[in-house]
Amino acid sequence: MRKAIVALIAALALVMAAPVMAAEINLGGSLETRFNFAPKNADEPWKDWGIEADNGLSMKLDVNAGEKIRVGLEFGTTEVGLDEDDELTEGHDDPTGENPAQLDITLKKAYLETTGAFWHGGPELVTTVGDIDVEFNDYVATLSDGNGVKVEGIEIGPVNARAFYAWNKGQVGAAADARYAGIDLGAAVVTDGENFEAAGTAGTEISGVRVTAEGAVDKNSNIAYKLSGETEIMPNVILKGSYRDSENFASENSKKDDGEPVAYDNHKGFKVGVATTQYGIAMEASYDQPTEEVAFSAEKEIELAGLNIKGEYDATYKKDLAIEHQIALSAPMTLVPQLQGLELSAGATINEDNVEGNNSWNVGAEYQAPNGINVGAEYHSVDGPSAYAGLKVEF
C-alpha cells in the first residue's frame, strides 16, 4: 500500500505542475481491494475457512505537450492485482500466512506519441515510440509486449497502411487495408530478417450473401485459410457456413484469448449454423464437423412480477458423450428503491463437461452500494458457500 501511495502522490504532483509545464495532464485509473471468504482447500469445502485479499491498481497518465505530442505512462500490478480487463484476479495469497498479499506496483508501459508529418507538406501520421501495442492482424501481427516504433495513418489513394518495428523482438511488419470495386481487402506481413509470415483477407457481398476469405502462412510455410459466408434466407433467419484448414499453422504473433489463438484452432473441416429471433427469444444452433460438436443457445428477457429477468440456456453435445446443459437466470432488484444495485442470480449445469451425472447448481446475490462498496455471496452445490466484500475507486 505504501507503493500505491507513493505512485499516486507522484502522479498528483505532475498534475499540479501542469500549469507550469504548459501541458495538459490527464490522470485516470482504478484502485480496488477485495476480501474473499471461502474454504482454503477445495477438496474439503466445509472446514478450514479463511479470508484471502486481492488488491488491484490500474493507472494511466497522459501528458499532452501542445497539440502534436503526447506522453503516456501506464502503471499496474504484476502478480497480484488486475487482469487485462481491469478485473481483480483470483486470490492466491493468505494474509494470515507467511506470504501475505502485497500490491506490487510497476511501470507497465511508457511511450511517446506524436502526430505530424515526417517532411514539410507531407501527410500527418501518428507515430508512437516506446512500448507499443500492435493489432494489425489476428493471424500473424498482434504484439502486446513490443518495444519500438509504430506509424499509423499512411494513406496512399484508397489504401490505409501502418507499420511497426519492435527492436526487442527484432521484428518489422506492415499492414494495409483498402476497398476496391466493392471488395474489402486487407494484408499484413511480419519478418525478423530470416523468417517471414503473412496474412490476407477479402470480403464482399454476392447476391445477398456476405462472403469472406482469410489466409495466412507462418514462418515454417504452413498455411491456414478460412472461407465463410452468411445470408438471411428469410426474415429474422440467418444461415451461416464456413470451411477452415489450419492443422499445422502456428504463429507467435497471433491474437490470443486465454492463451488460445482466436483466428485458428488447428482443425480442418466445415461448420454450419443458423441464428434467429422468434417471439423475443434469440436462438442459435451450430454443428462443427472437425470437433463433432453440436451447440445450441437461447436468450430472452422477460418481465415478471415487476422484475426484469434475463434467462440464458446453452447446450453442447460431443460425440459419444452426454449433452451438457447450462441454465442461468439473473434479475436486478428494482422494486425497493433503497436496494438499487442488488442483483440475484441462479444457475445449473447438467452433465458438466459432457460427463453423465456430473451436475451442479448455484444461487447468489451481489450488491453495489452507492458509496462504492460491493458485497456478494454464492452457494455452489459442489464448492459450497463463498462470499466477498470490497471497494473500488475509479479516478
Contact indicator for 106, 75 with CB cutoff of 8 Å: yes
The pLDDT score that the predictor gives to residue 6 is: 43
Residue spans of the domains in the chain: they are 1-116, 292-395
Signed CA dihedral, 92, 95, 100, 106: sign only: positive
C-alpha cell of 197? Answer: 509470415
Structure letter (DSSP) for residue 233: E
Q: What would the pLDDT profile of 310-341 be if each residue is shown by its tens digit?
A: 999 999 999 899 999 999 999 998 777 877 88
The pLDDT score that the predictor gives to residue 16 is: 46
Residue 9: which H helix or E strand, with range? helix 2-16
Q: For residues 395 and 231, which has the higher predicted lDDT (pLDDT)? A: 231
Identity of the amino acid at 150: K
What average pLDDT does the segment 29-58 reach?
66
What average pLDDT does the segment 139-167 reach?
91
Q: With 60 as the cut, is the pLDDT of residue 166 above it?
A: yes
Q: For the chain, what is the radius of gyration of the CA atoms?
A: 26
The pLDDT score that the predictor gives to residue 48 is: 61
Strand-pairing partners, residue 257, are 260
Task: Give the chain's end-to-end CA distance (angstroms, integer).
Answer: 17
Q: What are phi and psi of 10, to 5 degrees?
A: -65, -40
The pLDDT score that the predictor gives to residue 54 is: 66
Structure letter (DSSP) for residue 154: E
Question: Predicted confidence band at 35 (pLDDT cuts at 50, 70, 90)?
Answer: confident
The pLDDT score that the predictor gives to residue 82 is: 47
Q: Looking at 67-76, 207-216, 373-382, which range is the least confident one?
A: 67-76
Q: With 50 as the cut, is the pLDDT of residue 386 above it?
A: yes
Whole-angstrom distance, CA of residue 24 vs CA of residue 18: 6
How many beta carbons lie within 10 A of that of residue 381, not counting itself? 12
Residue 50: which H helix or E strand, with range? strand 49-65
Q: With 50 as the cut, is the pLDDT of residue 32 above it?
A: yes
Q: For residues 53 and 218, which has the higher predicted lDDT (pLDDT)? A: 218
The pLDDT score that the predictor gives to residue 185 is: 97
Question: Predicted confidence band at 60 (pLDDT cuts at 50, 70, 90)?
Answer: low
The number of C-alpha atoms within 13 Å of 378 and in the hemisphere containing its C-beta is 18
Structure letter (DSSP) for residue 338: G
Question: Predicted confidence band at 395 (pLDDT cuts at 50, 70, 90)?
Answer: low
**% pLDDT > 70, the chain:** 75
The pLDDT score that the predictor gives to residue 108 is: 75
Q: What would the pLDDT profile of 260-276 be if each residue is shown by its tens digit?
A: 999 999 999 999 999 99
Mapped onto helix, strand or coil, the DSSP state of residue 249 is coil
Mean pLDDT score of the chain: 82
What average pLDDT does the segment 21-33 reach?
63
Question: Predicted confidence band at 9 (pLDDT cuts at 50, 70, 90)?
Answer: very low
Question: Predicted confidence band at 163 (pLDDT cuts at 50, 70, 90)?
Answer: very high
Cα–Cα distance list, 229 to 76, 116, 224, 261, 366 (Å): 42, 40, 17, 21, 41
